[in-house]
Structure 1
Amino acid sequence: MLWKKIKNYKSIRGNPTGSTNHWEDLKWQIALENSEIGLWDYNVITDTVFYSTESKRMLGYASHELGNTAIEWNRRVHPEDIDNYFKDFNAHLNGDLSVYRNEHRIQCKNGSYKWILDKGKVVGTDANGKPSRIIGTHTDITYRKKKTQQSEEHLQLITSQNKRLHNFTHIVSHNLKTHIGNFENLLEFYEDSNSEDEKTELFEHLKTISKALTTTIIDLDDIISIKSKSESNQLNESVNLFNCADKIIKSLEIDSALHTVSIYNTIKQDDVLIANRSYLESILHNLISNGIKYRAKERSPKITLQSVSTDTDLKLLISDNGIGIDTEKYKNQLFEMYQTFHGTKREDSRGIGLYITKTQIEALGGSILVESILNEGTTFTLTFPKQKNTLI
């Protein structure tokens, strides 16, 4: 047995002129050491396990620091992996799997976790044909797992970026073609017109289309500018969220007073975000002004800002008791360009604000969610990582 061969390694080292079998034993030992693979040998009858020095070293333990029971390993398996760990092992014991194989996280001596490829096979049975001995190996696959996860994240990011780029180019093409088509039609009407009054009216229409085209180009330029900054990492700045929000609230004092909107800034005064200040101000201005704009006439309007901090994230919640949004009806359009969904016809609603807000938040490595009930109000939840992600 492989395990018995390895136990004899010390006597082999002291016998340089040993037999061929001894040298074969030595090759097994060297092969295991050089491959950095740990060995385990489970005696089902005695419920004891031999863990090789390499298996213990993977977890940061010396040879004498890990006992010879199965619980020594089992209790260190990550809680999220423990069920599959036992499921695969028992499936092999029951004969459902010819070879035991499982990938799981294991807690090291310093408290961190490593990914381990755990493999084994029954090599002995008792008189009743039940497994009595299992030999297996431990392989540290943390690096491979990390690279695989990074590759998957990169693929998801690239796929998402390509999708947004496709949508963006479609929108640009559609809107520019629409304006150009309107220009061409009005110019044809203008050339065919014999009435000065009609030409004057058509000229006014041309000026309206020209203004709309200019607005569209400015909107698209804003979005391109945001994406360019996010790609060049020009977004690192320490910003106090309470002070930033307070500044925006004061800038909207006339509008909020005119419509008797109460705004409550309950953001924790020591919450700081590494971000781009102008982006944050733009995000807050857009969401707060939306709360004012889409207030409910039948109740005293109010807007509340609050922050929630976790170990990894900082959440910013902006809530109002306004007219609300039918999120079921518009769930796929909430953050698209040139979409309006409040059921109101307003000249100042271009359907670009939330798209730009979402683009700015994502440029900062964050995300935005919306919860809303018609005629009750809306809450936007902005989540930012405390340490800004590195953009690709």
Structure 2
Amino acid sequence: MNKVANTYAMEKRYFHKDGRVIWVLLTVAIVWNTDETPLYFISQLKDITERKKNADRLHKERQRLNNVIESTQIGTWEWNIITGKRTNDERCYTMLGYNKSELEPHQLSDIYKGIHPEDEPKAQALMDECLSGETDLYHSEYRMKAKDGSWVWMESHGKVIRWSEDGKPMVMLGTRQDITKRKLVEVERLKTMEIISDQNKRLINFAHIVSHNLRSHAGNFQMMLELYKLENDEDEKKHMIDLLMQNAENLTETIANLNEVVSFQFDNNKQTKLIKLDEQIRKTIVNIQALVEQENASFSIFVDPDLHVNYNPAYLESILLNFFTNAVKYKHPNRLPEVIVSAFVEDGHTIIEIKDNGIGIDLELHGNKLFGMYKTFHNHADARGIGLFITKNQVEAMGGTIKVFSEVGVGTTFKIFI
């Protein structure tokens, strides 16, 4: 009426005849007389109820999406693949300790710039698979460098939402989330699993040591007593009694060592002692003397009496027992067992070398599973496939390694690097 505008429009609600409330777009135009006085109004009504309902639903969906994004602390990004422009929301920057104004918009060449060098190849390969249509969705986890120099673990999802007529990607939308806390929990979980696995290995080691070490003593006692009953020569009987006494002393020491192993198994600070290697080797041979005499085996020892090793006594005894008994048990059928034991220092490592003239091992056939659990390579009644597996674990638990050289029909040499 004041000639400020010729038309106006407004959205209003009306009561329908049936009682419903409907939304209406009211548009009004004024018609003027030649003397510039208003003649009449022209009004138009349009039912916009469905549009308002759709707008309301869209608003609620957007609000719900915003609430989800806010509650999950997810950042969103849009990538115009044609121009290379990448638009991130504020959270994508704050995750890395930046304000949005501190960084220029990402271009294509900068997308992987802040990703950890170890993670970038995989992240890019996964993106390439999505852009080529090989995968429908992009999903990758990688580390990005934050403003303070630390590395932040990110999880990114994305999808190409627009393709050209010739099948080329044009626009991609995605999210990014800080998953550093989750990754730290995963690391701790892995550490816990490693501890549990390590404890299980230690328990297996301990069970083997108890079984192997004590069984060797018990078997030696039994065989010596049987030989004693069959022996008529008094001097030989006296010699056997001396051997039994020495074996009894060794058994007492073995039990003491096993008590230390109980603590050793559950303590990462390995309990070691300075051991005279020559003395321990000879003592171990005494512990299997009955087997040695039964098989008419001979041991030749070439070890400096002054050579010492800092080692766990129970482990060393178990390792030597296993190699010595194997060297005798797996003898060649056409000759008496001969075992040569030597020790020397090389490149800062003490090396124990145990060489036999037994039946040997086909390393081309069995080499990759020689130290596997329950792996046997000969039809021997006592073969259980556990000795070499446990022995290798014991040597490695003390920071050493084992090398093996063997020829079928000639013999086997084990080198133990302590």
Q: Please give the alpha-carbon distance, in whole angstroms, between the structure 1 residues aligned to 2:403 and 2:105.
A: 53
Counterpart contact for 1:33–1:54, Cα < 8 Å: no
Residue in structure 1 matching 2:102, options 54, 61, 65: 65
Relative distance call for 1:68 and 1:192 in structure 2 (3 A) is: same
Which residue of structure 1 lines up, in the alignment, with residue 168 of structure 2?
130
Moved over 6 A (4+): 191-195, 322-326, 328-334, 353-357, 370-373, 378-381
Which residue of structure 2 lines up, in the alignment, with residue 168 of structure 1?
206
Work out whether 1:55 is the aligned partner of 2:55: no
Counterpart contact for 2:141–2:153, Cα < 8 Å: yes
Counterpart contact for 1:223–1:356, Cα < 8 Å: no
Work out whether 1:206 is the aligned partner of 2:255: no
Which residue of structure 2 lines up, in the alignment, with residue 339 of structure 1?
none
Residue in structure 2 matching 1:39, options 62, 73, 76: 76
Relative distance call for 1:202 and 1:323 in structure 2 (3 A) is: closer
Q: Please give the alpha-carbon distance, in whole angstroms, between the structure 2 residues aligned to 1:129 and 1:192.
A: 93
CA distances 1:79-103 after superposition (whole Å, capped 9, x unpaired): 1111111111111111110111111
Relative distance call for 1:215 and 1:355 in structure 2 (3 A) is: farther
Relative distance call for 1:148 and 1:355 in structure 2 (3 A) is: closer
Which residue of structure 2 lines up, in the alignment, with residue 103 of structure 1?
141
Q: Please give the alpha-carbon distance, in whole angstroms, between the structure 2 residues aligned to 1:294 and 1:188.
A: 34
Work out whether 1:82 is the aligned partner of 2:120: yes
Residue in structure 2 matching 1:153, options 173, 191, 207: 191
Unaligned 5+ runs, structure 2: 1-54, 272-303, 313-341, 356-361, 372-390, 406-414
Residue in structure 2 matching 1:294, options 343, 346, 349: 343
Which residue of structure 1 lines up, in the alignment, with residue 180 of structure 2?
142
What is the Cα deviation at residue 226 of structure 1? 2.8
Counterpart contact for 2:77–2:87, Cα < 8 Å: yes
What is the Cα deviation at residue 24 of structure 1? 4.1
Structure of greater Rg: 2
Q: Please give the alpha-carbon distance, in whole angstroms, between the structure 2 residues aligned to 1:196 and 1:72.
A: 92
Q: Give the letter aligned to residue 294 of structure 1.
A: A
Over the aligned positions, Cα root-mean-square deviation in angstroms equals 4.9
Q: Please give the alpha-carbon distance, in whole angstroms, between the structure 1 residues aligned to 2:105 and 2:147.
A: 16
What is the Cα deviation at residue 25 of structure 1? 3.1
What is the Cα deviation at residue 22 of structure 1? 4.1
Give the 5 Å matches for 1:224-373.
224-230=262-268, 282=310, 294-295=343-344, 318=348, 359=397, 367-368=399-400
Q: Give the letter aligned to residue 106 of structure 1.
A: M
Counterpart contact for 2:97–2:147, Cα < 8 Å: yes
Percent identical pairs in the alignment equals 30
Partner of 1:50: helix, strand, or coil?
A: strand
Q: Please give the alpha-carbon distance, in whole angstroms, between the structure 2 residues aligned to 1:66 and 1:214.
A: 73
Q: Give the letter aligned to residue 59 of structure 1.
A: L
Q: Which deviates the most, 122-131 or 28-37?
A: 122-131
Counterpart contact for 2:395–2:402, Cα < 8 Å: no
The structure, 1 or 2, with the larger RCO (C-alpha pairs under 8 Å, 6+ apart) is 1
Greater helix share, structure number:
1
Relative distance call for 1:325 and 1:203 in structure 2 (3 A) is: closer
Unaligned 5+ runs, structure 1: 1-18, 236-258, 262-280, 285-292, 296-301, 305-317, 335-352, 362-366, 382-392
What TM-score comes out, normalization by structure 2 length? 0.52
Which residue of structure 1 lines up, in the alignment, with residue 155 of structure 2?
117
Q: Please give the alpha-carbon distance, in whole angstroms, between the structure 1 residues aligned to 2:395 and 2:117.
A: 38
Aligned residues: 277
What is the Cα deviation at residue 51 of structure 1? 0.6
Counterpart contact for 1:319–1:379, Cα < 8 Å: no
Q: Please give the alpha-carbon distance, in whole angstroms, between the structure 2 residues aligned to 1:372 and 1:190.
A: 37
Q: Give the letter aligned to residue 169 of structure 2.
A: P
Q: Give the letter aligned to residue 104 of structure 1.
A: Y
Greater strand share, structure number:
2
What is the Cα deviation at residue 188 of structure 1? 5.4
What TM-score comes out, normalization by structure 1 length? 0.56
Which residue of structure 2 lines up, in the alignment, with residue 8 of structure 1?
none
Partner of 1:74: helix, strand, or coil?
A: coil
What is the Cα deviation at residue 323 of structure 1? 9.0
Which residue of structure 1 lines up, in the alignment, with residue 8 of structure 2?
none
Relative distance call for 1:282 and 1:192 in structure 2 (3 A) is: closer
Partner of 2:67: helix, strand, or coil?
A: helix
Relative distance call for 1:228 and 1:39 in structure 2 (3 A) is: closer
